Chain A
Amino acid sequence: MKDLNLILILIDSGRQDYMIKSEMIRKLRSKFSFFTNVITYAPHTIASMHAIFSGCYGNRTGTNSYWSTFKFKKNKFKTLAEYLYELGFKTYADVHSDIVSPKQGFNQFRIYDEETVDITTRHCDLLNEISNERKKFFVYLHYSKIHTGIKNEVLKKYSNFSEDYYKNLKLNEERYERLFHESENYLNEILETICSLELEKNSIILIMSDHGISIGEKMGEIAYGAFCYDYTLKTLSLIKFPEITPIQINQQIRSIDMMPTILDILDIQVDKQFDELDGRTLMPLILGNNMDEEIAYSETGNPLNEKRPPREPNTMSVRTSKWKFIHNVHNNTKELYDLENDPSETKNLFGTNLDIENYLWEKLENIRNNF
């Protein structure tokens, strides 16, 4: 096994398009492997983070909704933190809620109050504290302030069908820009701290977001978690470790691929005593080689007119870099989008006799029923 620490910086609700445009992120391209097109399993934190940590889709792990943190099948799926813990890493998580990610494998699972916390100071202090440890470490730093801002300024004021919200797109954009800019400042300070502590020399640094967020694109979703459209499914990842040759990878990959990639970088064998992973290592891409594109499966629970998300997903999608197929189980409707020519997913091509329709429907059924 390689002698490296792991630092995971998670920007909760970081939109892919804003991150790509970000000057701060742009600067990192010269040092990192930059995945510009990462599709999340779930457009909300809980199921998304469980999938990231397990390298598996939530329909298999049991955590497929806001309600299913405790349904995660610990006996069948081993998390990244568990792998590292068993290999002697000291493992830390610092997050805003007890239920956002699997706790198993963490020596310390710290919770902060998202309303009052100074996350930047807290996480810089944590890095300082950990760097004094003699042991190798894994630290998962969850930046939740975009979520907090959206909670207070959007979720508390509007419903998914508030016309006021959709009328004022400029205000929505400005709000998100402001919140996103704060996350850039946070990231900048964290990376400076990592640099000053000389942790770059012996650490894997992984920066990613768990899902995107709406700024009013589609009526019925004021933030995230209701639909499977690209503004919430598309995320971004940057990964860096010693001796890496920076590269930009625009090919579609999946957030569940990050966990097997980390295991591969660290030379850790997948534990055969647990169920197989859905994700796969992206090392060939990082090394500049080709890999076939995999279909990305996503699902969420549309609350429709209710004030609470459903306990089971009712909206599923499969995505290639060219096409998206969506099945809305709640009303048994289907959608098909040509992503290359219609990236905003405005023109539903389902039922127009395209061959791809049946192919993607079959793929969706196969993945959905594989549990």
Chain B
Amino acid sequence: MRPNVLFILVDGLRADQCYGVDKKSHTPFLDSLINDGVYFNNAFSSVDGTILALSTIFNSLFPFNTGVRERRIVFTDNNIFNIFQKNKYHIFGLVPDMEIYEPLKKKFENKLNSYDWINGNESLATGLTKKIIDILQSNNSEPWISYFHVLDLHPLREGKIPKGIEEFESSDFGSSSYSKTVSSIDYWFGKILECVDLSNTIIILTSDHGEKIPYKGITNTDMEHRLDRTKKIGKSILPKKTHEKAGKMLSKIRTSISKPKIIIENQELTNYQKRSRTPYFTLSLHDESLHVPILIVGKGISQCLIKNFVRHVDILPTLCDILHFELPQKINGVSLKPLLEQKQIQENIQYLHTIPYEKPHQDDAVGIRTNKYKYFRSAQNPNKNIHLYNLQKDPHENHNISQNNQNVVKELEEELSRLIKNPITFNEEMSDEDDKKIEEELKKMGYL
């Protein structure tokens, strides 16, 4: 009997909050899964944002292959869901109700396949758990793969406290809102997995990217002068069409007042700590934004902690290998199954790219990561914003050593160029729905 596959992705879940000495959250359930399965504690995403990360995972392709400026998830012919479908699996899932997930929703057989994410209205504590359980309990068609995308940590990005974590307020569940939310997620996962036949299921747990946890809970924005009174007066006396301009001006004033204060406040901090205080949507290729958990547990998987450097692109071929599916061609990932069998594999390179803002941004960066080095620079200009870190000596990337290591920079830039210059060509998937739409339009235009 072929196992079902439960694929859970927790948006923004940091690897160090799942396992290791820096872990502050209380996650007994996750701990037990790690004890029973294979946990990769040195796994990395290619990007610091969701859209490109999901395209990377689902297609086993680096973002420069699927498109670094895409605003929706891209599926190639070789995507994970097509592969499972080809192997006669049923596909179910639940994702936030957002435009970027539209191509993904089309993969699911269940009609109720999205949930209200705005303002964290549906978190695991406030209804999402039930929806997931309902889907799992109605999955009568086996084998299946189910994908659940959990956004419980997302409200923190907007400076909000996620709904339903009141019961995890005690310091037993962590020192930050982030770790408390992770503790809450763990509790609800326990409830979900009570409804899953673990003897015939493989569970994959990962995240799309990491996240910042503000040092001592303070962000730079918290230190800014609010100027609320000025804003209120301005709004009441200025005509509406000037509000946008006035807002921008006020923001400049606010920054100019608070900048010296922030500099003083942050002066004793390391670069890692300073970065933790920048706004959540600041583009970043540092490890706190890229280090992700990858856990595989369930039928036929033996317990193992794997310290090798692995990547999101490796998930799909690994899964195919475990399930004895034909390994897809034209991908960037490799199967990690040999590692599960205590064998060694060659270390591979990770391609890095920042998530695109709506418009190209001066902070857009591109780079590569090996187990030893992190190299990145401006996406537009190879000679700008060059960063190099020795990850073994400086895991928190406090010291940019690019100036004194020009040879390493040159070598890694050449490696990056080689990678980018050889993109994998593939056919972008065209659904039956797209085909029908074209047929209708061609009829309307008189061509059929």
- Residues in B413-448 with C-beta less than 8 Å from chain A: 423, 425, 427-428, 430, 434-435, 437-438, 441-442, 444-448
Q: Shortest distance in angstroms between A267's beta carbon and chain B's nearest beta carbon?
A: 16
| B164 CB–A CB distance under 8 Å | no
Within 8 Å CB of A75, what residues of B? 65-70, 74
In chain B, what residue has the closest Cβ to A73?
A: B428
Within 8 Å CB of B434, what residues of A? 70
Task: Please report the C-alpha to C-alpha distance between residue A78 and residue B360 in the assembled complex, in whole angstroms.
Answer: 13
Task: Please report the C-alpha to C-alpha distance between residue A85 and residue B285 in the assembled complex, in whole angstroms.
Answer: 26
Task: Please report the C-alpha to C-alpha distance between residue A31 and residue B62 in the assembled complex, in whole angstroms.
Answer: 49
> With A86-B359, A273-B379 in contact, do A71 and B447 touch (Cβ < 8 Å)?
no
* Segment of A95-103, A197-205, A354-362 in the binding face: A95-103
Within 8 Å CB of B445, what residues of A? 96-97, 114, 147, 151
Q: Shortest distance in angstroms between B280's beta carbon and chain A's nearest beta carbon?
A: 23
> With A155-B447, A156-B446 in contact, do A99 and B437 touch (Cβ < 8 Å)?
yes
A273 touches B438 (CB 8 A): no
Task: Please report the C-alpha to C-alpha distance between residue A147 and residue B359 in the assembled complex, in whole angstroms.
Answer: 36
- Residues in B50-67 with C-beta less than 8 Å from chain A: 65-67
Within 8 Å CB of A86, what residues of B? 358-360
B69 touches A273 (CB 8 A): yes
| A76 CB–B CB distance under 8 Å | yes
A71 touches B446 (CB 8 A): no
| A66 CB–B CB distance under 8 Å | yes
B441 touches A98 (CB 8 A): yes
| A62 CB–B CB distance under 8 Å | yes
A70 touches B438 (CB 8 A): yes
B442 touches A66 (CB 8 A): yes
A151 touches B448 (CB 8 A): no
Within 8 Å CB of A2, what residues of B? none
A307 touches B448 (CB 8 A): yes
| A67 CB–B CB distance under 8 Å | yes
| A69 CB–B CB distance under 8 Å | yes
Interface string of A138-165 (1 = CB under 8 A from B): 0000000001001110011000000000
B360 touches A76 (CB 8 A): no
| A309 CB–B CB distance under 8 Å | yes
> With A151-B445, A155-B447, A307-B448 in contact, do A69 and B438 touch (Cβ < 8 Å)?
yes
B441 touches A151 (CB 8 A): no
B67 touches A74 (CB 8 A): yes
| A21 CB–B CB distance under 8 Å | no
A71 touches B444 (CB 8 A): no
Within 8 Å CB of B65, what residues of A? 75
Interface string of A56-78 (1 = CB under 8 A from B): 00000010001101110111101
Within 8 Å CB of A76, what residues of B? 67, 423
- Residues in A224-263 with C-beta less than 8 Å from chain B: 225
Interface string of A205-221 (1 = CB under 8 A from B): 00000000000000000
Within 8 Å CB of A272, what residues of B? 380
| A308 CB–B CB distance under 8 Å | yes
In chain B, what residue has the closest Cβ to A156?
A: B446
> With A76-B67, A99-B437 in contact, do A151 and B446 touch (Cβ < 8 Å)?
yes
> With A75-B74, A155-B447, A273-B379 in contact, do A67 and B438 touch (Cβ < 8 Å)?
yes
Within 8 Å CB of B444, what residues of A? 97
- Residues in A74-119 with C-beta less than 8 Å from chain B: 74-76, 78, 86-88, 96-99, 114
Task: Please report the C-alpha to C-alpha distance between residue A156 and residue B69 in the assembled complex, in whole angstroms.
Answer: 42
Task: Please report the C-alpha to C-alpha distance between residue A147 and residue B441 in the assembled complex, in whole angstroms.
Answer: 14
Interface string of B343-385 (1 = CB under 8 A from A): 0000000000000001110000000000000000001100000
Within 8 Å CB of B430, what residues of A? 70-71
B448 touches A308 (CB 8 A): yes
B358, B435, B441: residue with the most chain A Cβ atoms closer than 10 Å: B441
In chain A, what residue has the closest Cβ to B63?
A: A75
> With A75-B66, A76-B67 in contact, do A99 and B448 touch (Cβ < 8 Å)?
no
Within 8 Å CB of A87, what residues of B? 359
B441 touches A99 (CB 8 A): yes
Task: Please report the C-alpha to C-alpha distance between residue A75 and residue B423 in the assembled complex, in whole angstroms.
Answer: 11
B70 touches A74 (CB 8 A): yes
Q: Shortest distance in angstroms between A275's beta carbon and chain B's nearest beta carbon?
A: 9
Q: Shortest distance in angstroms between B198's beta carbon and chain A's nearest beta carbon?
A: 39
Task: Please report the C-alpha to C-alpha distance between residue A224 and residue B425 in the assembled complex, in whole angstroms.
Answer: 31
Within 8 Å CB of B447, what residues of A? 66, 155, 225, 308-309
Q: Which 7 interchain pairs have the tightest Cβ spacing? A: A75-B67, A151-B446, A155-B446, A70-B434, A86-B359, A99-B441, A308-B448
22 sample A-B contacts, Cβ–Cβ < 8 Å, listed by A number: A69-B438, A70-B430, A70-B434, A74-B67, A74-B70, A74-B428, A75-B65, A75-B70, A76-B67, A76-B423, A86-B359, A86-B360, A97-B444, A98-B437, A99-B442, A151-B445, A155-B446, A156-B446, A273-B379, A308-B442, A308-B447, A309-B447
Known: A75-B68, A273-B68, A371-B425. 7 other contacts (CB 8 A): A67-B435, A75-B74, A86-B360, A114-B445, A155-B447, A309-B442, A309-B447
A residues apposed to B, CB below 8 Å: 62, 66-67, 69-71, 73-76, 78, 86-88, 96-99, 114, 147, 150-152, 155-156, 225, 271-273, 307-309, 371
